[in-house]
């Protein structure tokens, strides 16, 4: 083989070298991209994508900033694309001083979060009231976090926010990322497969994505929405 190669013309040698380079490129770059990915890899791809797009939104840049490779002046900084933004407003908010022990029905709706997603976020809080380690089906009730430990049924709890020196309670589910909003505004081309019903009306995935108080994108298992279920949980989508 080496003797044949040494006797070949310069043009033939060049073609052989080019062919070898193409084979190497295919082996190292093309084939890995077309091979089936593991569930954990697909989860990581979703997380990386959601994190990038969320950060672009929070930075106040338009959805196509990465595509156009242009410099934009940020006009609205610190707006989190969560349900706190979707439910932003003051008409239906609830001050901490006025909250009672009964089920809360006014929060988690339009104009019920006075932060409007501005700089605020947190961790959604679900209580496993029946202690089975599994979220009960259907729409669960919301209670103030101060009374929730006394309940023996699955439910969501509130978060406390301080806006203009007044304390309010908000539905802690407001910290889930509104993926429908992200798609509508062009930050996501389509809904990632892992997205659960907590993030989208059409979500069917196993993970509920949220932004914590430090601005980090994290996930919870839809079936067991606790902070300790962050990261890949051996299931996809």
pLDDT digits (tens, 9 = 90+) for 47-93: 999 999 999 999 999 988 755 444 444 457 899 999 999 999 999 99
Asked if 109 and 169 sit in the same domain, the reply is yes
Per-residue tokens: 28: 């190292």
Distances (CA, A) of 19 to 3, 12, 32, 99, 109: 19, 10, 19, 73, 61
- For residue 146, being part of any structural domain is answered with yes
Asked if 193 and 206 sit in the same domain, the reply is yes
- For residue 234, being part of any structural domain is answered with no
* Structure confidence at residue 20 as a pLDDT band (50, 70, 90): low
From 150, 132, 128, select the one nearest 140 (Cα to Cα).
128
Domain membership of residue 138 as a residue range: 83-175
- Reply yes or no on whether the pLDDT at 210 is more than 50: yes
Asked if 75 and 185 sit in the same domain, the reply is yes
Asked if 70 and 94 sit in the same domain, the reply is no
- Reply yes or no on whether the pLDDT at 28 is more than 90: no
- Domain count of the chain? 3
- For residue 237, being part of any structural domain is answered with no
The pLDDT value given to residue 147: 82
Asked if 41 and 64 sit in the same domain, the reply is yes
- For residue 235, being part of any structural domain is answered with no
pLDDT in tens, 136-163: 999 999 999 888 667 889 999 999 999 9
Asked if 121 and 44 sit in the same domain, the reply is no
Mean per-residue pLDDT over the chain, rounded:
88
The pLDDT value given to residue 146: 82
Distances (CA, A) of 109 to 48, 90, 177, 217, 229: 29, 11, 15, 23, 27
Q: What element of type H or E holds 20?
A: helix 10-25
The pLDDT value given to residue 77: 85
Asked if 134 and 152 sit in the same domain, the reply is yes
- For residue 24, being part of any structural domain is answered with yes
Instruction: Tell me the whole-structure pTM to 2 decimals.
Output: 0.83
Asked if 119 and 42 sit in the same domain, the reply is no
Per-residue tokens: 166: 């007044």
- Reply yes or no on whether the pLDDT at 111 is more than 60: yes
């Amino acid at each position: 083989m080496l003797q044949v190669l040494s006797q070949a013309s310069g043009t033939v040698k060049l073609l052989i070298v080019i062919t070898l380079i193409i084979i190497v490129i295919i082996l190292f770059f093309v084939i890995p991209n077309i091979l089936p990915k593991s569930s954990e890899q697909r989860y990581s791809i979703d997380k990386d994508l959601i994190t990038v797009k969320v950060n672009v939104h929070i930075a106040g840049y338009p959805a196509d900033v990465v595509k156009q490779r242009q410099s934009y002046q940020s006009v609205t900084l610190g707006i989190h694309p969560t349900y706190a933004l979707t439910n932003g407003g003051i008409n239906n908010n609830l001050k901490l001083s006025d909250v009672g022990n009964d089920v809360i029905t006014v929060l988690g709706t339009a104009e019920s979060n006075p932060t409007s997603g501005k700089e605020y976020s947190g961790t959604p809080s679900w209580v496993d009231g029946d202690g089975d380690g599994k979220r009960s089906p259907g729409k669960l009730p919301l209670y103030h976090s101060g009374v929730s430990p006394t309940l023996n049924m699955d439910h969501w709890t509130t978060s406390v926010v301080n806006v203009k020196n007044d304390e309010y309670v908000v539905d802690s589910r407001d910290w889930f990322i509104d993926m429908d909003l992200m798609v509508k505004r062009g930050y996501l081309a389509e809904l990632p497969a892992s997205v659960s019903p907590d993030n989208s009306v059409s979500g069917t995935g196993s993970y509920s994505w949220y932004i914590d108080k430090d601005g980090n994108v994290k996930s919870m298992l839809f079936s067991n929405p606790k902070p300790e279920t962050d990261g890949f949980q051996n299931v996809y989508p």
